[in-house]
Every structure is written in C-alpha cells, then in structure tokens.
C-alpha cells in the first residue's frame, strides 16, 4: 500500500515515542487512508484518499 493520499499527498510522519521514564524510540504515524472510487480526469479509478479530503469535499466520488 502506498500510504499516501492521492489528492493532498499526505503521507507517513515520524517522530519519537516517549515513555514515562523519558526514553525515546522512533515511531510512525500513518494517515487514515481509504481505498475509494474517485473521478480522475472524468474516469472512475480506485485510489487511496485520506479521510480529511473526503470529509472536506475535495474529492468527487464515483458511484
């Protein structure tokens, strides 16, 4: 899976997981991607789209 939004290009972010004793290990935050049928150049295609783009109405879903 590409782990990247087709529309806004949102991807994986990295950082530190900090424990209670302040130890730091690397971790990842993944975007909430959904595989949807959207219109790309007037044609329906299956692409991964983040839920923020879906909720804001930036993506036109194909039925």
Q: What is the predicted pLDDT for the residue at 14?
A: 97
Give me the pLDDT at residue 35, please.
96
pLDDT of residue 1: 72
Taking 90 as the threshold, does the pLDDT of residue 63 lie above it?
no
- Check residue 2 and give its pLDDT: 79
Count how many domains the chain has: 1
b/e sequence 15-40, b meaning 16+ C-beta within 10 Å: eeeeeeeeeeeeeeeebebeebebee
Q: Name residues whose C-beta falls within 8 Å of residue 44's C-beta, 6 or more positions apart in sequence.
A: 37, 38, 62
Q: Which residue matches tokens 């993944």?
A: 30
Q: Is the pLDDT of residue 25 over 90?
A: yes
DSSP state of 4: S
Q: What is the CATH number of the domain that holds 53?
A: 2.30.170.40
Domain span at residue 33 reads 1-63
């Amino acid at each position: 899976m590409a782990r990247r939004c087709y529309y806004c290009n949102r991807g994986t972010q990295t950082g530190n997981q900090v424990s209670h004793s302040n130890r730091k290990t690397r971790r990842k935050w993944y975007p909430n991607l959904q595989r949807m049928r959207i219109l790309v150049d007037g044609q329906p295609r299956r692409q991964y789209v983040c839920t923020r783009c879906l909720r804001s109405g930036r993506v036109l879903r194909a039925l």
